[in-house]
Amino acid sequence: MKEIFIDDFNESRKILEEFINIPDNFEKLEYAGKLMVAAIKSGKKILSCGNGGSMCDAMHFAEELSGRFRDDRQSLPAIAISDASHITCTANDYGFESIFSRFIEGVGSEGDILLAISTSGNSVNVVKAAEVSKKKGMKVVALTGNNGGKLASVANVEIRAPFNKYSDRIQEIHIKAIHSLIHYIEKNL
């Protein structure tokens, strides 16, 4: 049965190699990193959101910036939209599709960044958050998979995992992109 593990790791390696072999991906990562660094240098913040495992990735991104990643440094302004009381209150009063956008309406400001994460690119609440962010004058960095979905057309920059069969493989590319963005931010502040 260890073949399951070997197959999983080989499939992950194949998808990572495919991502690496698309040079445009690194240009997009650099552009996203520059947007984030510029926002922080201007006294702005980065908000992040996603559903399920993507919410965990959004939380991980924010805590690495506000806490510590590799080196000691000042805390950086990053907030994952993940507060259970906000989410359940908003879902109850406005519907699940508004859980992220409602937070952005209250907390987002012009010049902030939204890191919007959706493996399909079609999560209605994430797309709505991106649309509200753009209306507020925020920049949107999207992590997607499949064909990028509706989120791809709303984002200022979209970083897409080159896979569409299972969301866990897409999330593996997303967490590598997240760690690379955090590393870039730390090195450029």
CATH of the domain at 71: 3.40.50.10490
Residue 97 has a pLDDT of: 98
Residues of the chain with pLDDT under 70: none
Q: How many domains does the chain have?
A: 1
Q: List beta partners, residue 46.
A: 78, 113
Q: pTM score, two decimals?
A: 0.97
Sheet holding 157-160, edge to edge: 78-80, 46-49, 113-117, 139-144, 157-160
pLDDT of residue 68: 93
The answer to whether the beta carbons of residues 45 and 104 sit under 8 Å apart is no
In this predicted structure, what is the pLDDT of residue 165?
82
Domain that holds residue 36: 3-188
Question: Which residues face 113 on adjacent strands?
Answer: 46, 139
Distance CA 123, CA 98 (A): 11
